[in-house]
């Protein structure tokens, strides 16, 4: 995947005047709709954001999906009572607009990796291991000095099980996940289904895990939008979470 060398080539995606009914909207959550929190459970989704997402979901005729590293159950917990079409665990699980849920891989395949990670981190209780079902996230925000040791150790672990597992890097997080899906494949699957099919795809995300999604949206002649700094294949960018929320609010209200 060829990435732009500059952190932002084209600011201001040409979206504010778009009619939501023409769009297939895909949104990452952490670092895109809400700031990244110290612990994954500590994010705050306030009523204003929940209401905006609900309005955008309605105005787009249901063509809005969350594309997250979180599990779908976790997304639902945070967005309650709102439930949206979603891809969880970087595409390993998906809930379509009709509510049908699908999963890639078998949860048991993650067992040996779980044991190995527990043994590896016995002496590092500050490193948080988050079990999501089809993936294990190792959060080292509290121990950034362990980054290179963790990268090396988890790369070696995944290499031992290269048929079943892959390693996904994120912001101060490494995820050992079942192989066979990514955010791009999840977006491609949504784009084959109603009400997303035939619309202009938009994907907004902030992290390296979103790059697969940007590539799929670029290939579909859609709008890929990277939030914040970093090399990317996305064609547009926004500076921060507040700019994303402002843009989506303008589309939802149709008041641009």
Closest by alpha carbon to 90, among 164, 2, 31, 29? 29
Q: Does 93 sit near Mg ion (CB under 5 A)? A: no
From 114-122, 160-168, 200-208, 230-238, span contacting Mg ion (CB under 5 A): 200-208
Residues 94, 169: Cα–Cα separation, whole Å: 21
Pairing of strands 101-103, 93-95: antiparallel
Q: What is the contact mask toward Mg ion in residues 31 to 50, using x (rule: CB under 5 A)?
A: x-------------------
Q: 24, 28, 214, 238: which one contacts Mg ion (CB under 5 A)?
A: 28
Nearest CB to Mg ion, comparing residues 70 and 94 = 70
User: Which 8-state DSSP code applies to residue 230?
Assistant: S
- Answer whether the bond into residue 161 is a cis peptide, omega within 30°: no
Please count the CA atoms within 13 angstroms of the CA of 75 that sit on its side-chain side. 26
Nearest CB to Mg ion, comparing residues 28 and 76 = 28
Q: Does 130 sit near Mg ion (CB under 5 A)? A: no
Least distance from C-beta 110 to Mg ion, angstroms?
Answer: 22
Least distance from C-beta 192 to Mg ion, angstroms?
Answer: 24
Active site residues: 28
Least distance from C-beta 49 to Mg ion, angstroms?
Answer: 15
Cβ atoms of 35 and 241 within 8 Å: the answer is yes
Angle between helices 183-191 and 211-219 (to 10 degrees): 30
Q: For residue 81, report the phi and psi dihedrals to the nearest 5 degrees.
A: -90, 5
Q: Does 30 sit near Mg ion (CB under 5 A)? A: yes
Q: Does 206 sit near Mg ion (CB under 5 A)? A: yes
Nearest CB to Mg ion, comparing residues 105 and 205 = 205
Tokens 């960018």 found at: 237
End-to-end CA, the chain: 34
Q: 207, 216, 225, 241: which one contacts Mg ion (CB under 5 A)?
A: 207
Q: Does 175 sit near Mg ion (CB under 5 A)? A: no
Least distance from C-beta 30 to Mg ion, angstroms?
Answer: 4
Please report, as ranges, the residues that interact with Mg ion according to CB under 5 A. Answer: 28, 30-31, 206-207
């Amino acid at each position: 995947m060829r990435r732009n060398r500059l952190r932002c080539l084209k600011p201001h995606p040409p979206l504010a005047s778009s009619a939501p009914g023409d769009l297939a909207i895909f949104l990452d959550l952490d670092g895109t709709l809400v700031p990244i929190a110290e612990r994954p459970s500590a994010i705050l989704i306030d009523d204003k954001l929940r209401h905006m997402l609900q309005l955008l979901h309605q105005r787009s005729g249901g063509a809005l999906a969350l594309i997250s590293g979180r599990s779908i159950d976790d997304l639902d917990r945070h967005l309650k009572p709102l439930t949206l079409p979603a891809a969880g665990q970087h595409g390993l699980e998906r809930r379509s607009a009709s509510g049908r849920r699908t999963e890639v891989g078998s949860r048991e395949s993650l067992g040996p990796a779980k044991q190995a990670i527990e043994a590896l981190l016995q002496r590092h209780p500050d490193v948080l291991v988050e079990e999501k079902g089809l993936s294990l996230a190792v959060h080292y925000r509290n121990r950034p000095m362990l980054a290179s040791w963790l990268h090396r150790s988890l790369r070696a672990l995944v290499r031992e099980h290269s048929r079943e597992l892959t390693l996904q890097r994120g912001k101060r997080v490494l995820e050992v996940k079942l192989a066979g899906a990514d955010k791009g494949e999840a977006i491609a699957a949504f784009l084959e289904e109603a009400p997303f099919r035939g619309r202009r795809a938009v994907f907004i995300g902030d992290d390296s895990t979103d790059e697969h999604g940007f590539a799929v949206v670029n290939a579909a002649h859609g709008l890929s939008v990277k939030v914040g700094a970093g090399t990317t294949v996305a064609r547009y960018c926004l500076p921060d979470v507040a700019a994303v929320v402002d843009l989506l609010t303008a589309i939802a209200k149709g008041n641009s």
